[in-house]
């Protein structure tokens, strides 16, 4: 909740931004969504409906037990690979051709898919005057059009295949789907019958060959036995038994010798690691479990570790040279010597056992060599006999197996069965499968909203204008002095003027004109939000004057028509209402729009004072109600060197006189971008206020203007966001939208009415 209340992070600012974004871009989102829905509706109207019929086929159909036992061909194992194979068979051109021929689908399929495109092409060529091709569609194209409508998938992780077929007629779609299932099962039966027939013929030939080979092998065994006087080849000779026994004993002896040799090596390695003056028993770990398993060494080692702990404890408590510590070290030394003496004893014992085991291994190897040499001469005939007998038995076993398979194959040919069957036939569907009206409308709705939101976001990103004070502060690094609302259109109050034909007196001619309602809004509407925003500008400048004097205040903007003259006049009027001596100067010498609004009848002004032909009292105007002084600028001919005029000593002297004679000097300056006059007034002005038009002035333009006028930027007290649409302002400044609520201003009597 804290993140939401601060408006700096968390979900709260995001929701506020989305709310403001929808308020600003709802028309774009709504229009894009409406177009997407209209396109979806049009698509649904022009697209013909398609109906999908489904038939389900079960694989691995259970067979009779005697058929399973007598099957001579490989039974399909319907794992994932096997089921994928069956899916390809169902979607094969062979099944497609069988169904097309059975139901006579070629004419209907010729008008779909690529054939339909070819027909349209022929029509276009006919319209263009070309001779259209009249060739009939190829069989491959018809099969391709059929397979595009066919879909075969596995149902979850089962052995059930779902076959679906799309057609414009629901009854026809169900008929074709059932025909596909029937054609697939028929194809399986034909393939299995052909495989059984081929296997039976091969078994018959192979069985005859095996019978002849078995008979020949048995005769050879009997002849060899008679020739070498061998009674039985099943018995085992004494030499073989002796060799087997010696070989087993030799393997055990070698294992014992290797074990003793490894143990002796570990003992010797341990003794080699013992330093000349050992200070620890850490070398025992290198010997592994052979040393540590000894109860004597393990007991001595535990005593040594206990003494080492006490020695460390006493050394820390009494010092390393204490008698108790020295005694403990002596006992530790004795224990180390005892431990390594025990290791040496174990090493000697192991060495003796190793020598005995090695001698025993050598004796067994000699006995085994003598037995092998003796048995080689006697086993030659038995080896040959065993080979002949094994060959005869193998031939006889193969003959029996093939005879059994041949009998089963002969019986199975009369009982054909398929591993697949239809478990759910296809019925005419009640509803169309595509296009899906609900899905298409939902997709169009979401696509329209997404596209509209994207377009709105692009508009937001491309909207490089000032709309909130935070944007002003972030882009320019300057405080926003005030947000000035856009003035409503109203009828100006008629000033006191002379009637036509009469000669006006001097006082009437020197009075500031009230014809421009915008320049007098702060006077005519003292309790308006406009007047309150001008007070905010005045307060910001006065707070700045606490640090440095700001008597001469320059009002400028980046571009023309941003309302700087209105702000300057309103600020001067407001200060004058507080009984301050204020003079308003129009220093926009090339386009003195403020003089045209406040002193349209002026014939002399600022330029005449600089030239020395008139004094200030001769050209200055006075506001009738606020007593504000106005020094106009009269342009008779185009001026080419206005910046040089503003930098003259006469201009500097004039500003010094005004600085001493008035409390405030408000200067209406030209804009920054078109001309360089504002830079020339930097020595004359104490501070500047930059006027930016809301939602019109580009950020890049203002940044470039301030970058090219660093002397102006250094003396800027802040920025005035002018001509603001306060109702729209709340939608952009979503963090402080309540700040612009009219109810808060009405609570203190602030309105936009005169």
pLDDT in tens, 652-711: 999 999 999 999 999 999 999 889 999 999 999 999 999 999 989 999 999 999 999 999
Length of the chain as a residue count: 754
Which two tokens mark 702? 């203002």
| pLDDT for 277 beyond 50 | no
The pLDDT value given to residue 682:
93
Residue 509: band (very low, low, confident or very high) from pLDDT cuts 50, 70, 90: low
Report the phi/psi class of residue 10: left, alpha or beta, with left for phi > 0 and alpha for psi in -120 to 50. Answer: left
Instruction: Give the pLDDT mean for 381-395.
Output: 71
Given a contact cutoff of 8 angstroms between Cβ atoms, the answer to whether 662 and 581 are in contact is yes
Given a cut of 80, whether residue 291 has pLDDT beyond it is no
Residue 520 pLDDT: 92
For residue 166, give the 3-state DSSP assignment. Answer: strand
Q: How many Cα atoms within 13 Å fall on the side-chain side of residue 273?
A: 15
Coil, strand or helix at 151: strand
Place of tokens 């139901």: 103
Q: Say how far residue 668 (Cα) sits from the centre of its chain.
A: 54
For the chain, give the longest Cα–Cα distance. 168
Distance between CA atoms of residues 596 and 668, nearest Å: 13
Q: Percent of the chain, pLDDT > 70?
A: 77
Confirm if 379 and 243 have CB atoms less than 8 A apart.
no
Q: Which long-range contacts (CB under 8 A, 24 or more apart) does 324-330 make?
A: none
Fold that domain 540-718 belongs to in CATH? Rossmann fold (3.40.50)
Angle, CA 718 vertex, CA 516 and CA 7 arms, to 5°: 110
Task: Band the pLDDT of 577: cuts 50, 70, 90.
Answer: very high
| Per-residue pLDDT reduced to its tens digit, 70-119 | 455 555 556 777 888 888 988 899 998 999 888 888 888 877 654 455 55
Measured CA to CA, the distance from residue 428 to residue 398 in angstroms comes to 55
Classified as helix, coil or strand, 234 is coil
pLDDT class of 480 with cuts at 50, 70, 90: very high
Residue-level pLDDT at 385: 66
3-state helix/strand/coil string of 658-695 = HHHHCCEEEEECCCCCCCCHHHHCCCCCCEEEEEEECC
Q: Write out pLDDT tens, residues 536-563.
A: 999 999 887 766 778 999 999 999 999 9
Q: How many CB atoms within 10 Å of residue 489?
A: 7
**pLDDT score of 636:** 84
How many other C-beta atoms can be found within 10 angstroms of the C-beta atom of residue 290? 17
Strand ranges in 488-578 using DSSP code E only, listed in sequence order:
552-557
Residues 6+ apart with CB under 8 A from 514: 492, 493, 494, 495, 520, 624
* pTM of this structure: 0.53
pLDDT for the residue 502? 35
Q: Is 472 helix (H, G, I), strand (E, B) or coil?
A: helix
User: For residue 556, what pLDDT is reported?
Assistant: 96
pLDDT tens, 292-315?
A: 567 777 787 788 888 888 888 888
**Tally: H helices and E strands in the chain:** 30, 12
Nearest-CA neighbor of 161 among 169, 170, 150? Answer: 150
Report the distance separating Cα 498 and Cα 615, nearest Å: 26
pLDDT of the residue at 422: 87
CA 171 → CA 66, 413, 429, distances in Å?
41, 38, 8
CA distance linking residue 558 with residue 7, whole number of Å:
31
- DSSP states along 300-311: HHHHHHHHHHHH
């Amino acid at each position: 909740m804290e993140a939401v209340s601060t408006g700096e992070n968390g979900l709260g600012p995001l929701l506020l931004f989305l709310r403001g974004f929808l308020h600003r871009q709802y028309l774009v989102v709504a229009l894009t969504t409406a177009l997407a829905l209209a396109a979806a509706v049009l698509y649904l109207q022009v697209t013909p409906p398609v109906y999908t019929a489904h038939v389900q086929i079960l694989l691995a159909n259970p067979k009779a037990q005697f058929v399973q036992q007598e099957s001579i061909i490989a039974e399909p194992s319907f794992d994932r690979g096997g089921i994928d194979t069956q899916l390809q068979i169902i979607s094969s051109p062979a099944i497609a051709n069988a169904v097309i021929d059975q139901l006579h689908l070629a004419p209907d399929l010729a008008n779909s898919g690529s054939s339909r495109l070819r027909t349209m092409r022929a029509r276009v060529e006919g319209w263009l005057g070309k001779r259209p091709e009249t060739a009939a569609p190829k069989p491959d194209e018809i099969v391709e059009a059929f397979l595009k409508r066919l879909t075969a998938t596995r149902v979850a992780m089962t052995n059930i295949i779902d076959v679906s077929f799309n057609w414009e007629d629901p009854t026809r779609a169900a008929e074709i789907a059932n025909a596909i299932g029937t054609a697939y099962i028929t194809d399986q039966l034909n393939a299995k019958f052909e495989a059984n027939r081929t296997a039976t013929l091969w078994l018959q030939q192979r069985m005859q060959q095996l019978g002849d080979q078995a008979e020949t092998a048995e005769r050879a065994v009997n002849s060899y036995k008679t020739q070498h006087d061998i009674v039985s080849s099943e018995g085992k000779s004494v030499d073989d038994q002796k060799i087997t026994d010696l070989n087993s004993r030799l393997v055990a002896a070698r294992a014992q010798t290797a074990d003793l040799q490894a143990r002796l090596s570990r003992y010797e390695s341990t003794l080699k690691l013992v330093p000349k003056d050992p200070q620890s028993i850490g070398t025992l770990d290198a010997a592994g479990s052979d040393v540590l398993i000894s109860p004597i060494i393990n007991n001595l080692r535990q005593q040594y570790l206990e003494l080492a702990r006490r020695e460390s404890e006493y050394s820390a408590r009494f010092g390393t040279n204490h008698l108790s510590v020295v005694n403990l070290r002596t006992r530790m030394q004795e224990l180390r010597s005892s431990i390594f003496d025990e290791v040496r004893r174990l090493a000697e014992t192991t060495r003796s056992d190793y020598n005995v085991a090695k001698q025993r291994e050598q004796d067994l190897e000699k006995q085994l060599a003598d037995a092998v040499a003796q048995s080689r001469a006697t086993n030659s005939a038995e080896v040959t006999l065993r080979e002949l007998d094994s060959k005869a038995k193998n031939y006889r076993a193969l003959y029996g197996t093939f005879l059994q398979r041949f009998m089963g194959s002969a019986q199975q040919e009369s009982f054909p069965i398929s591993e697949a069957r239809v478990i759910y036939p296809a019925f005419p569907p009640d509803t169309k499968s595509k296009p899906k009206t609900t899905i298409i409308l939902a997709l169009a709705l979401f696509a329209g909203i997404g596209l509209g939101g994207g377009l709105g976001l692009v508009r937001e990103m491309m909207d490089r204008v000032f709309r909130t004070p935070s944007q002003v502060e972030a882009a320019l690094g300057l405080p926003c002095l005030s947000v000035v609302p856009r003035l409503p259109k109203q009828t100006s109050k008629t000033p006191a003027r002379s009637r036509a034909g009469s000669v006006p007196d001097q006082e009437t001619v020197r009075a500031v004109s009230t014809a421009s309602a915008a320049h007098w809004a702060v006077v005519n509407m003292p309790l308006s939000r406009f007047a309150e925003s001008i007070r905010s500008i005045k307060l910001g400048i006065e707070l700045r004057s606490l640090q440095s004097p700001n008597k001469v205040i320059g009002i400028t903007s980046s571009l023309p028509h941003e309302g700087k003259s209105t702000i300057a006049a309103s600020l001067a009027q407001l200060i004058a209402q507080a009984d301050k001596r204020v003079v308003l100067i129009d220093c926009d010498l090339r386009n003195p729009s403020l003089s045209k609004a406040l002193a349209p009848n002026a014939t002399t002004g600022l330029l005449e004072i600089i030239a020395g032909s008139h004094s200030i009292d001769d050209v200055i105007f006075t506001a009738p109600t606020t007593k504000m002084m106005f020094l106009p600028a009269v342009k008779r001919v185009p001026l080419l060197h206005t910046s040089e005029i503003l930098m003259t000593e006469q201009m500097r002297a004039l500003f010094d006189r005004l600085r001493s004679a008035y409390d405030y000097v408000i200067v209406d300056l030209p804009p920054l971008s078109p001309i360089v006059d504002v830079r020339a007034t930097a020595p004359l002005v104490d501070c500047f206020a930059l006027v930016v038009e809301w939602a019109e002035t580009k950020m890049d333009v203002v940044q470039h203007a301030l970058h090219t006028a660093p002397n102006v930027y250094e003396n800027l007290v802040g920025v005035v966001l002018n001509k603001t649409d306060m109702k729209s302002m709340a939608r952009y400044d979503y963090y402080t939208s309540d700040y612009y609520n009219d109810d808060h201003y009405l609570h203190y009597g602030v309105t936009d009415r005169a």
